Amino acid sequence: DIQMTQSSSYLSVSLGGRVTITCKASDHINNWLAWYQQKPGNAPRLLISGATSLETGVPSRFSGSGSGKDYTLSITSLQTEDVATYYCQQYWSTIFTFGSGTKLEIK
């Protein structure tokens, strides 16, 4: 299986600030990467697919980048509603796997 590593379990950011969440795959995944946002009590919500493509309705302050094994999710102008846990997921392999999540908190 391809292992997905999110090295930061928690990140604390100021309102209006910028944050970058990282995700590293154990093998090349050719941009077959998605990002999800999960708020307490809710199911995950798809934000980005194909490493960089924003889903309809997702604010433009969210963006994704990366290639090969290394990917990032960036959020600019952080809002209170962005407080959530963020997960990456690879779909290059037929066995889909998720990162362990990065919980975003307001400083």
Partner 1 sequence: DVQLQESGPGLVKPSQTVSLTCTVTGISITTGNYRWSWIRQFPGNKLEWIGYIYYSGTITYNPSLTSRTTITRDTSKNQFFLEMNSLTAEDTATYYCARVRRGVFDYWGQGTTLTVSS
Give 38 or 72: the residue with its C-beta nearer to partner 1: 38
Residue 97 in contact with partner 1, rule: CB under 8 A: yes
**Residue of 62, 71, 86, 87 interacting with partner 1 (CB under 8 A):** 87
How many residues belong to the chain?
A: 107
Judged by CB, which is closer to partner 1: 76, or 96? Answer: 96
3-class SS of residue 75: strand
Considering only residues 1 through 60, tell me which ones interact with partner 1, judged by CB under 8 A: 32, 34, 36, 38, 42-46, 49, 55
* Residue of 56, 55, 51, 50 lying closest to 66 (CA atoms): 51
| Chain residues 63-82 in contact with partner 1, contact rule CB under 8 A | none
Please identify which residue in 19, 21, 73, 101 interacts with partner 1, judged by CB under 8 A.
Answer: 101
Q: Which residues fall within 8 angstroms of residue 7, CB to CB, at 6 or more apart? A: 22, 24
For the chain, the C-alpha Rg in angstroms (whole number) is 13
Residue 102 makes contact with partner 1 by CB under 8 A: no
Using DSSP bridges, classify how beta strands 102-106 and 10-13 pair: parallel, antiparallel or unpaired. Answer: parallel
Check residue 91 for interaction with partner 1 (CB under 8 A).
Answer: yes
